[in-house]
Structure 1
Amino acid sequence: MTNSTDISRILAPDVLKGQICVVSGAGTGLGRAAALELARGGAIVITCARRADPLAETVSMIESIGGTAQSHPLDIRDAEAVNGFVDRVLGEHGRIDTLVNNAGGQFALPAEMITPNGFRKVLELNVLGTWLMTHAVATKAMIGQRDGKILNVTLSPHDGFPGLVHSSAARAAVENMTKTLSVEWARFGIRLNALAAGHFSTDALDTRYVPGVKEDALTRIPSGRFGTEEEWGWLVAYLASPAGDYFSGSVLTLDGARDVFGSGTYPPPGFFEAIAAAAAGKDTK
């Protein structure tokens, strides 16, 4: 669960005061953790996601620690909606200092069972959605400001992710896009970095994957534990702060050495049985 303390353990008070930070997918998990830590640093946090209720809860949590936040339901795959959202933020606040492209998603499934539509949906959310947000914020705000930071959330490990081939392809695309744009837009003072998340203690591990995935993941982390949401928030806030001004074109991996371990076999025990049981359960509903 996200730490609810009202004082940051790593940021100087008001280091982000006056900054406008947009966080997509901020209704739960790592997106909420990032939004909270940015608010602790004094930023005005604009949250967006598809579901309104979790966003409202995030805003309420930020306000309870003395921060300032707004929520806007948004499907980042809808170009018209994204442009309208960015226009609204600029109309109210005049600028956008940091964009955290956290919204994304996938589902664990053997490659041979993924349908064309399932593959397409994961790419649309993780690649197209990230591009639409990035392009709109850059062209409407940051290029004119000659300043800004864009943080694109991806995944670790990078040496292949069996059971998540669609997400592996999508996140690799986002990382290459990040590196390319860091060169193209450096002349506008825009810094772009990708943040590759390993396994964190969020509700997603318990609710979005079949039984056994969480237990198997832990065996592949040399540090012997999952990351905490607070640790993720620290990384995002650090890069949004002046300490992150010289970072650009990088992929920063936070995963307890998972990325360089590369051990284990596929599939983990019981994986296909769990998939079959989950599919059977859906068929009976």
Structure 2
Amino acid sequence: MTTEQFSVDGDTALVTGASSGIGRAIAERFAADGADVVICSREQENVDPVAEGIEESGGSALAVECDVRDRESVEALVEATVAEFDGLDTLVNNAGASFMANFEGISENGWKTIVDINLHGTYHCTQAAGEVMREGDGGTIINFASVAGQEGAPFMSHYAAAKAGVANLTSTLAYEWADDGVRVNCIAPGFVATPGVASQMGVTADEIDREEVDRKIGTSEEIADVAQFLASPAASYLTGETITARGVPDIMESPE
């Protein structure tokens, strides 16, 4: 049985928010499979070590400082990608942020900041990268929503609303850009043992057994598996979908 259909070897992938956690895992996974990766973060010093690690492992990576909220910065990121690797095959819109507060306690600035990073940032990157793909041979776009965007999340209304917008944008763009050869899909993770979540929940990725089915927290590498699938030819019949990666579903047991 061949597994070549799951390969991203030879592709160029741009991953936002790749200094740690899920974004870093995706960049490292794609590079290990033979893709040229461009990784960005708001601070160059945070993303340089990731690129250096990929290069030391035999991969190909370019680190770029970019604030996804700023259109000129995003356009420069895409231009650098094309200049370095002569094209762009996959965009992973992973950059995101949040903080916890009840709805009435969220200032207008706080609301705008979270929506700007999670939703408006996806808009900027998708428009800029999508132009390259649509004028070329097509490509794949992988957005990041969240279970919070599907079901809501107490004390994270700004984040949940933005992620719901990302999921809706995914299905809309999948329809609009199908004729241009661009597939647009989305991943909605539940709890993942990133450094931030691990510090809050007290569970590290090292404590998670991938063979255990009965769990509600996953690893960044498991999300990277889904991202590689969506970027690969194996997902050629998928567009406009949001894949929920959350472990065991919440189902109410019937009273006896």
Same fold (TM over 0.5): yes
**2:241 matches 1:242:** no
Residue 131 of structure 1 aligns with which residue? 123
Residue 74 of structure 1 and its aligned partner are, at CA, apart by 0.2
2:51 maps to 59
Q: How does 1:1-285 map to 2 (within 5 A)?
A: 15-139=7-131, 141-157=132-148, 158-207=150-199, 223-258=214-249, 260-261=250-251
Letter in 2 for 1:178: T
CA contact (8 A) 1:11 1:238 kept: no
Alpha-carbon separation, structure 2, partners of 1:13 and 1:185: 23
Q: CA RMSD in A?
A: 2.2
- Report Cα offsets for 1:63-117 as digits up to 9, x if no partner: 2322111100000110111112211211222210000000011011111211111
Distance 2:193 2:94 in 1: 16
For residues 153 and 257 of structure 1, what CA distance do their matches in structure 2 show? Answer: 20
In 1, Cα distance between equivalents of 2:251 and 2:158 = 22
Q: Alpha-carbon deviation of 1:206?
A: 4.2
Structure 1 counterpart of 2:176, one-letter code: E
Per the TM alignment, residue 161 of structure 1 is displaced from its structure 2 partner at its CA by 0.8
Deviations 1:6-28 (A, max 9, x none): xxxx9659932221000000001
State whether residues 77 and 128 of structure 1, in contact with CA within 8 Å, keep that contact through their aligned partners in structure 2.
yes
Aligned residues: 242
Tell me what 2:210 maps to. none
Distance 2:145 2:231 in 1: 17
Residues 214 and 110 from structure 1, CA distance in 2 versus in 1: closer, same or farther, beyond 3 angstroms? farther
Gap regions ≥5 residues in structure 2? 204-212
What is the rounded CA distance, in whole Å, between the counterparts of 1:51 and 1:248 in structure 2?
32
CA contact (8 A) 2:142 2:184 kept: yes
Q: CA separation in 1, counterparts of 2:41 and 2:101?
A: 24
How far residue 225 of structure 1 moved from its aligned partner, in angstroms, is 4.1
| Cα distance in 2, alignment partners of residues 23 and 145 from structure 1 | 19
* Worse overlay, 249-258 or 55-64: 55-64
Larger Rg: 1
Q: Is the 8 A contact 1:12 1:41 kept in 2?
A: no
Amino acid at match of 2:243: L
Unaligned runs of 5+ in 1: 1-9, 216-221, 264-285
Q: Distance in 2 between matches of 1:133 and 1:85?
A: 9
Per the alignment, do residues 205 and 262 of structure 1 end up closer, same or farther by CA in structure 2, a change over 3 Å counting? farther
Q: Distance in 2 between matches of 1:68 and 1:261?
A: 44
TM-score, normalised to structure 1, is 0.79
Alpha-carbon contact 1:14-1:41 (below 8 Å) kept: no
Contact 1:20 1:95 in 2 (8 A): yes
Check whether the contact 2:6–2:228 (CA below 8 A) recurs between aligned residues.
no
- 3-state SS of the aligned residue for 2:218? coil
Percent sequence identity is 34
